[in-house]
Structure 1
Amino acid sequence: MGVPRSRGATNELGPDEDSGGAPPGCSGDPGVPVGEEAVPGAPSDGSELLAALLDGMDAALCAFDAAGTVTHWNREAERVLGWSAEEAVGRSGFAGWAVRRADADEVRARLMSAMDAPGRQVHEFALLRKDGGRVLVRTQSAGVRGADGKPAGVYCAFSEVHAQIDLERAIALSEALLEDASWGVVLVDVDLRPTVVNAHAARALGGSRTALLGRPLGELVVQGVEELEAALHHVLADGAPSAPAELWVTLRTAEGERRRCWRSGFLRLASPLTEEPVPLGVGWLFQDVTAARLAEQEADRLRFRTSQLHRAARTASECEDPMEAATSLLDFALAGFADHVLVDLVAGERLVRTAATPFDAPGPCLLVAGGSIPARYAPGHPALQSVERTGTVRTSAGAGAAVSPAWAVERRWPRDAAHALCAVLRSRGRTLGVLTFLRAANRAAFERSDAAYAETVAARVAGAVDLARQLTRE
């Protein structure tokens, strides 16, 4: 077989054979010069295109004719082994130059066996570099048939084993991440729409893996989508952040809305097939850390409240007037807990307002000027329920801007109140009154842990009120 000397093409390997009675030096086909042939068994009219294609391949490739002579050698093969196409094409096998002579026969036999075997064969060989070093390669070889259907040669694609292993590891890692990883993985395109969602992420987002594809993130995330999209845009423009970020989001699910905290990492995806990086999207990996963050918040809240109670006790111990001590306790208890506080004490069959914070503006808890004022509570009022039950009562008008001031006005509370917690004041087995904490609509409703804290404050205030009454009687 003979071809022109060029990268990815063949050299002239033997005497030309004239066909069809053509003059010496010419072939029977006037359009094809004698000695030019493309891939073994392939038509000869595309040799230049074939040479360009072979040189553009990422894999090292060589070819042998039926006699074992090297007919093709591309640029990647030159990079891996150091031998140029001019030096490689025309040699008989690898013996003595690309393989040690002791291994040459075995390597030749295993490569050429692909010519008669169906499909591809995979082998690993230690080849010689031009500088004398050795490199372990993994080959995939396949036979080539001629136009007559008979074996015409062998193609052999090879790459360094470590590069192949790196590729296989990368593929295995991506498949594992997108199948059964213990954290969510979402691939987002440049339009910020999910293109691949693993099983963990699908469960976290409240849908199936296929149903989530192509949907805008705003359809999945009720609150927090702006922060998430801003992070994705930043990654597309400037690359991945240096550290994970924690995002609080509210999800829309069949059971209702759920608020979650996701510890998220982002990776910009770019095509490896272009010289200039072309963004393909963003890889978003996240873990649900809601439980841990809520536990941390609760621990921080408990530490703060314990500290406030300690400071309140020290301040109250310096007050000569027990009622002044009670209002000092409430000033410390209000910080971070409520917006208003009311103190209604029992006077016969009714409650009278004894101390309160200002209705129209933030301020300290002060005793009512000029004496106590009867609290005109309607039957069924939460404060009256707390006294009747000798326990804590929580109530709420809802959250957000839709809360009407009429709800608070009807209950004789400040107009901005939307959430209330009433704790009974008891000392020495007697009910002394009720303590009412109020929050505005922009804050969350009182929870069970808030009730426990309010009861602790109420017990201390009740002790101070009881002492004040004893001193008054004396």
Structure 2
Amino acid sequence: MTASSASSASSASSSQQPASAGPPGSANEPGQAAAGPPRAAADTEPDRPPDADDSGLLAALLDGMDAALMAFAADGTVTHWNHEAERILGWTAEEAVGRRGLTGWAVRAEDADGVRAALDTAMRAPGRQVHDFALLAKDGHRVLVRTQSSAVRAPDGRVAGAYCAFGESHTQLDLERAVALSEALFEDATWGVVLIDADLRPAVVNAHAARTFGMSRTALLGRPLGDVLAQGVEELEGALQHVLSEGPPPAISELWVTPRDGESELPRRCWRSGFIRLASPLAEEPVPLGVAWLFQDITDAKRTEQDGSLLRFRAHQLHRAGRAAAECPDPAEAAAVHLDFALAGFADHALVDLAGTPAPAPYGAVDADAEWDADPAPTGDGPGAGSAAAAGGPGAADRAPRLVRALASPAGVPGPSEAVPVTGIPVAYVPGHPALQAYARRGSVRASAGQAPAEGWAAIRNWPDGTVHGLCVVLRSRGRTVGVATFLRTPARRPFDRADADYAEEVAARIAAALDLAGAAGA
């Protein structure tokens, strides 16, 4: 009979056993028939120690620990040795368990006294004891470890042994440094640090970040970023989502944001920001926990840098304008060149109006004994003086200027400024117009439509549609007011400030000199 035939016969014989043989899985020995009703499962299980399941569970827990662990009986015999201890030292559990002490195999003889004393101290002293000592790996090299040892006591209180959890010292030091760094960042750092969860809401905020937001640390937790930032939220959330999905950007970014204080908005701030994706070290595959956002307020430095860059650009424009104007045979054309160079990056539109007062003398050096006088000093003090004269007060007919359009940049389309045909008809400026005020004050006047421009705000001032910011600067040459230059901005630009007025006054001085040279002021 072949082996396969014998196997088939055996299988058939087994399948033909009577039902009284008991249910499958019973504890009957092979060939032993069971009589009577089936016994309970508990009766069929073999005898085993009552703590067998607990011992298996304990062994599984010890082997699954991230820390290396060894345990000793009261006489020093090794009773437990988990997988992490095997990884660090190379000794397997079969090689370690049952040995008495560590001397000679896991500890060098020179180090044995110190290790033995540390374990004895752990058995006698309450609580955990932390020690640093050197163990001996199976391949013969020494491993510096940091241990936490504690006594194991029986129910009656006597010492039954000790356990010793340990790890490589450099790993422990790295962990301690990481914890210390984390605590320092959230307590003493001069950078703002905010941990953003996967829902893009602050989970942890350090003290510096809370001060920057103007809120308490707890008030920021769990709130949408749109509740604390009025502007710049889209850029910030976009950066956070990119970090969560793709990882941190290769370079530090600079975000302009406007913090929110209740219903009001605070001034814009520039925050130099870095982002780090956080992943759980316990997961087999990286699981994003959120993003660490580190930022520093660099608004003052950024504005200083921008101001310096703007000054360099404007100085370069003035230099280029001077070189280009010097090549113009017609002084009026040179004035237009100065106006065109001034518009670049400064304004969207420009106008030049000339006063109808004749020039005191031909262009050139003025004789000190000549019988002519410069413009009279402005009457009154403060802004109201010029406005009152222009509005038609006593003697206004003698002082009100007749401003005639001389130059204008194309409205709506880019192009060079062009001379306006001479008609002699004054521009119909309403009383109190910024150009009239600038003429009366011999200075610069700024005007702005505000956050919500009124309908017809530009039209009533004879300015192109879409204008929301204006700057009128007086043109002065040889002690006389030649006219007024007006620079205009659309909503895409910010309002004019004092630095803009200074630049416009420098440009106006060059335009006035060119127009005076052309004799256009006497037209």
- Distance in 1, matches of 2:53 and 2:159, equals 21
1:398 matched to 2:460? The reply is no
Find the counterpart in structure 1 of residue 149 from structure 2. Answer: 141
**Shift in Å at residue 169 of structure 1?**
0.4
1:90 matched to 2:142? The reply is no
Find the counterpart in structure 2 of residue 309 from structure 1. Answer: 318
Q: In structure 2, what residue type is equivalent to 1:322? A: P
**TM-score, reference length from structure 2:** 0.80
- Distance in 2, matches of 1:336 and 1:347, equals 31
- Distance in 2, matches of 1:403 and 1:137, equals 73
Find the counterpart in structure 2 of residue 114 from structure 1. Answer: 122
Find the counterpart in structure 1 of residue 374 from structure 2. Answer: none
Seen in structure 2, the aligned counterparts of structure 1 residues 252 and 471 have a Cα distance that, compared at 3 Å, is: closer
- Which of 477, 485, 489 is the equivalent residue of 1:439? 489
**TM-score, reference length from structure 1:** 0.88
Q: In structure 2, what residue type is equivalent to 1:390? A: R
Q: List aligned pairs for 1:73-222, cutoff 5 A.
A: 73-222=81-230
- Distance in 2, matches of 1:82 and 1:321, equals 95
**Shift in Å at residue 282 of structure 1?**
0.7
Seen in structure 2, the aligned counterparts of structure 1 residues 360 and 84 have a Cα distance that, compared at 3 Å, is: closer
1:424 matched to 2:474? The reply is yes
Percent of pairs identical after alignment? 66
For residue 241 of structure 1, give the secondary structure of its aligned residue in structure 2: coil
- Distance in 1, matches of 2:63 and 2:521, equals 102
For residue 217 of structure 2, give the secondary structure of its aligned residue in structure 1: coil
**Shift in Å at residue 321 of structure 1?**
2.0
**Shift in Å at residue 472 of structure 1?**
6.5
CA deviations on 1:389-415 (whole Å, 9 max, x unpaired) are 11111110025xx43451111111111
**Shift in Å at residue 32 of structure 1?**
4.2
- Distance in 2, matches of 1:235 and 1:472, equals 67
Find the counterpart in structure 2 of residue 365 from structure 1. Answer: 417
- Distance in 1, matches of 2:266 and 2:164, equals 58
Contact 2:149 2:162 in 1 (8 A): yes
Structure 1 or 2: more helix by fraction: 2
- Distance in 2, matches of 1:360 and 1:277, equals 55
Gaps of 5+ in 1: 1-29, 37-42
Q: List aligned pairs for 1:231-270, cutoff 5 A.
A: 231-253=239-261, 256-270=265-279
**Shift in Å at residue 31 of structure 1?**
5.4
Contact 1:252 1:258 in 2 (8 A): no
**Shift in Å at residue 360 of structure 1?**
4.5
Find the counterpart in structure 2 of residue 387 from structure 1. Answer: 439
Find the counterpart in structure 1 of residue 356 from structure 2. Answer: 347
Q: In structure 2, what residue type is equivalent to 1:295? A: T
- Distance in 1, matches of 2:265 and 2:424, equals 46
Gaps of 5+ in 2: 1-45, 358-400
- Which of 278, 284, 308 is the equivalent residue of 2:293? 284
Structure 1 or 2: more strand by fraction: 1
Contact 1:271 1:280 in 2 (8 A): yes
- Distance in 2, matches of 1:434 and 1:52, equals 91
Find the counterpart in structure 1 of residue 4 from structure 2. Answer: none
CA deviations on 1:75-100 (whole Å, 9 max, x unpaired) are 11111111111111111111111111
**Shift in Å at residue 105 of structure 1?**
3.4
Report the number of matched residues. 434
Find the counterpart in structure 2 of residue 328 from structure 1. Answer: 337
Find the counterpart in structure 2 of residue 20 from structure 1. Answer: none
Find the counterpart in structure 2 of residue 10 from structure 1. Answer: none
Q: In structure 1, what residue type is equivalent to 2:409? A: T
Contact 2:515 2:521 in 1 (8 A): no
**Shift in Å at residue 428 of structure 1?**
1.3
For residue 306 of structure 2, give the secondary structure of its aligned residue in structure 1: helix
Contact 1:261 1:293 in 2 (8 A): yes
Q: In structure 2, what residue type is equivalent to 1:416? A: G
Q: State which drifts further: 221-230 or 167-176.
A: 221-230
- Distance in 1, matches of 2:469 and 2:521, equals 35
For residue 292 of structure 1, give the secondary structure of its aligned residue in structure 2: helix
- Distance in 2, matches of 1:109 and 1:332, equals 87
For residue 345 of structure 2, give the secondary structure of its aligned residue in structure 1: coil
